[in-house]
Chains A and B, each alone.
Chain A
Amino acid sequence: MATLPLGITLLGAPAATAAPQSDLADRALRGDEAAWNALVAKHNQRVVVALLGRGLGLERAKDIAQEAWLRLLEQQRAGRLRELRLPQLAITQATFLALDDQRKNGRTLALADGFDAADPAPLPSQQLIGEEQLARAQRVLAKCSPSARKVFSLVYGGGNLSHADVASRVGLSVQRVRQIVCEVRKELRREFEEDGDV
């Protein structure tokens, strides 16, 4: 288990406090170490998974995720961090580090066509699948129940909600939300894997 100099523990850290994300981000921007701990505990797994999804091995993904958090901390200490939108910012930072690693070591990173290294904004939503696959996925979603579509939208949409957040919004248990996620995933997976799209 990796530990950052500030005492931030990566992966397996105690669950984040119940403070709202915006409150945590504000406190982290003011240099509150506990807030950084909570944010890392909450979002690090997403950063690692994003790197895995782009073809990095687990160990390398964990190292780069840790490096990304350190860079963000350095930026905050230097007063260069005015906004803390997570996990996008950490994923963007980590992807840049992975790209740099790729350049140095000749590794291949799964990036979309048209990725602009000078503009990190498109990273979280960059195109990894084509228009045709997107259209097919939309048709699969259309066949799901309205509540399943709602859960899918909240979990994978831009709100960065945890399963617990989603459960409280839709009035279901966390377990049921996860069950729905797995059901929708299964349908979409079948669609993607039929043609070997992803």
Chain B
Amino acid sequence: MSEHLSREALEGYVIGSLDEAECARVEAHVTRCAACEARLQHEASLELAFTQVAARAEEKPRRAPRYAASAVAFGGVLAFAAAMVLWLTPRAEPIDARSASEPQAIPEMNADASTATAQLDSPGDGAVRSTIRD
């Protein structure tokens, strides 16, 4: 039995960098040497793993721009919608400085957490009691 194959030779075989004669030499040895065959299988399994690593590396840069583009597009639609609302909404009356400085009424909360009772201002005839249930 000749000396075992070097890692470089086995690596060269799996990455395809050996010439025909070198390939034949590796194969001739491997068919007679179980240890080197196992080492060759290991090198080959690394090749498969590296293919997987490269596939993952390719996935990530592709995903980011797609999400980024979606976010930009969505943001643009929101900005346009906001601009349209502002443009179409009638101009508000000047705010009374006194009432603006008063605190807003805080809704009353019942002990029952599933029910909230709020005192709301009605533009018509006085306060309207509104009950909201989850």
Contact = CB atoms under 8 A, between A and B. Distances in A.
A72 interface: no
Contacts of B14: 49, 52-53
Interface string A118-156: 000000111111000110011001000000010011011
Contacts of B116: none
Interface string B18-30: 0010011001001
A182 B55 CA distance: 19
B48 A163 contact: no
A20 interface: no
Contact of A52 (B17, B20, B44): B44
B55 A125 contact: yes
Interface in B32-68: 37, 40-42, 44-58, 60
A156 B45 contact: no
B17 A128 contact: no
Interface stretch (A27-35, A78-86, A100-108, A185-193): A185-193
A127 B49 CA distance: 8
Contacts of B20: 12
A163 B17 contact: yes
A45 interface: yes
Interface of A: 11-12, 45-46, 49-59, 110, 124-129, 133-134, 137-138, 141, 149, 152-153, 155-158, 162-163, 178, 181-182, 185, 188-189, 192, 197-198
